A = this chain, B = another copy of it.
Amino acid sequence: MIDPGSTYDLVLTGCTALRNNAGKDPRFEPNTTIAITDGQIVAIGPDGDTPPACAELVETAGLVAIPGLINCHTHAAMTLFRGVAEDVPVHSWFNKYVWPMEVNLTEEDVYLGTLLACAEMLASGVTSFADHYFYMDAAARAVEESGIRANLGWAFFSSMGSEGVAQSADFAQRLNGSANGRITTSLAPHAPYTVNDEDLELAAEHARRIGVRVHIHAAENLAQTESSVDSRGITPIEILRRTGILDAGTIIAHGCGITDPDVPVLARYGTSVGVAHCPKVYLKHALPPLTPIRALDAAGVAVGLGTDGVAGNNTLDILESMRLTAMTQKYVEEDATWMTTGHAINLATTQSAATFGLPNDIGALEVGRRADIALLDMSGAHCQPIHDVAAALVYSARAGDVVTVVSDGAVVLRDRKLLTVDVAAIRAELSGRLDRLIDISHGDQIQRYDP
């Protein structure tokens, strides 16, 4: 509860706060004060007659406060390729567009693309993202400057030789805990179909040694699983188990091809393994089925929300991922009572925090958690009237309704103005780079997609 005798760093008063989101029946508590010191929520409770003493007071009456949203899987700098590869099958998407274009990337491109991504995410209430890309020191610089929280993994293929896993491990070790703790890291092997078992085993060993997770694409679609079973007799999830990846703790990106027998395998690892679900790209890539969330949920496997890279998803909007997850789950399960609004909110908060690897630090407005908070203005015509705040949040609210964001205790978005990143300057800087970035006349590609 709020202590009237204390002086806090930052206090938010008057908001309607999301609570009890560890289960599927959240509450929204009106007239709430949140007190923050040293980047942490230190008190939360009913508004007093006067605000408590504090260095900075933000009046948030009329706003809905939710835990900062979490993007459990993306390739942030792919903002650079937004809208370039539309309306093509997944093989062409990789082999004719994305992997040829990625040959063009420089370290400075990745910095700018990641900074733009951080701006987009913070402005839409996303305060944490799990990133899986290249030139990750540049990405870390963007994270540091923008004030966002990130789990960063330097991606590698076995085609890079022993250099790949070594670089990923070196980065994970050097950067873990940096940016005042806002940066955590992962080992980031690309996928079981591009990284061999020896390198997967090495990645798992490094991850255990450093004390971080492995962030990897696996069972991205059912065709990949079938191909794995055909060629090796085991599923991609079984490869992760045998190589020690699951034992190290894992963010599994996509998992649309997770089979029934895979589910109890994953469940054995409890909260150290989570699946990042990015529905927009599964729809656009036109590859049914979706991630088997119902089976994973029944087995207690965490499912977090993600966007994947912008070259596929076109935005980094986790409110959209939550809405799409709720809608598509009902449709594919042919059950309107499944994936309730409360469940969708649980995925976006508690389960995403678990998938991200910080189950006790983010994902809830609770004392002891880091102060990552998004405040939405739902007074717009498209949200009114509000009979049910959970329904408004899942099905009516838009990223543009986010007006104020606190990240690790600092106000980074105020009245829809981003305080940490100059988007116009990035836009100007990028304009001279775009032609080079999408020029694929060189005929190279960073890797071949043939899972």
**Nearest B-chain residue to A434, judged by Cβ:** B385
Indicate if the CB atoms of B314 and A396 lie closer than 8 Å.
yes
A86 at the interface (CB under 8 A from B): yes
| A334 interface hit (Cβ, 8 Å) | yes
- Determine how close the nearest CB of chain B comes to the CB of A401; give it in whole angstroms: 7
Q: Does A366 contact B (CB under 8 A)?
A: no
Query: At the interface, yes or no: A195 with Cβ under 8 Å from chain B?
Result: no
B385 touches A87 (CB 8 A): no
Q: Do B331 and A385 touch across chains, with their CB atoms under 8 A apart?
A: no
Say if the beta carbon of A171 comes within 8 Å of chain B.
no
Quick check: A81 and B387 within 8 Å, CB to CB? yes
Complex CA–CA separation, A399 to B320 (angstroms): 13
Is B87 a contact of A337 with CB atoms below 8 Å? Answer: yes
| A431-444 interface code vs B (CB 8 A; 1 in, 0 out) | 10010001000000
- State the number of copies, please: 2
> Is A336 engaged at the interface, CB distance under 8 Å to the other chain?
yes
Q: Are B423 and A316 in contact (CB under 8 A)?
A: no
- Interface range for A: 35 or more
A366 to chain B, nearest CB (A): 26
Say whether A88 faces chain B, with CB atoms less than 8 Å apart.
yes
Q: Which residues does chain B contribute within 8 Å of A298, judged by CB atoms?
A: none
**Interface assignment of A299: CB less than 8 Å from any CB of chain B:** no
Cα A383 to Cα B79 in complex, Å, equals: 9
For window 349-406 of chain A, which residues contact chain B by CB distance below 8 Å? 379-388, 391-392, 395-396, 398-401
- Separation in Å of the A130 CB from the closest CB of chain B? 19
**A319 nearest in chain B by CB position:** B398
Which of B283, B340, B423 contacts A384 (CB under 8 A)? B423
List, in ascending order, chain B residues with CB within 8 A of A341's CB.
Answer: 86-87
Q: Which of A338, A339, A400, A424 has the most CB of B within 10 A?
A: A400
Instruction: Tell me, yes or no, whether A330 is within 8 Å of chain B by CB.
Output: yes
A387 adjacent to B288 (CB under 8 Å): no
Contact with B along A269-285 (1 / 0, CB 8 A): 00000000000101111
Q: Report A79-101 residues with CB < 8 Å from chain B CB.
A: 79-84, 86-90, 93
Residues of chain B lying within 8 A (CB to CB) of residue A398: 398-400
Contact A331 B396 (CB under 8 A): no
Give 6 pairs: A residue, B residue, CB < 8 Å, sorted on A.
Answer: A79-B385, A84-B388, A89-B336, A90-B336, A284-B331, A285-B336
Query: Can you name 8 extra interface pairs (CB under 8 A) apart from A89-B337, A284-B331?
Result: A80-B385, A82-B386, A83-B392, A84-B388, A86-B391, A286-B333, A314-B391, A381-B423
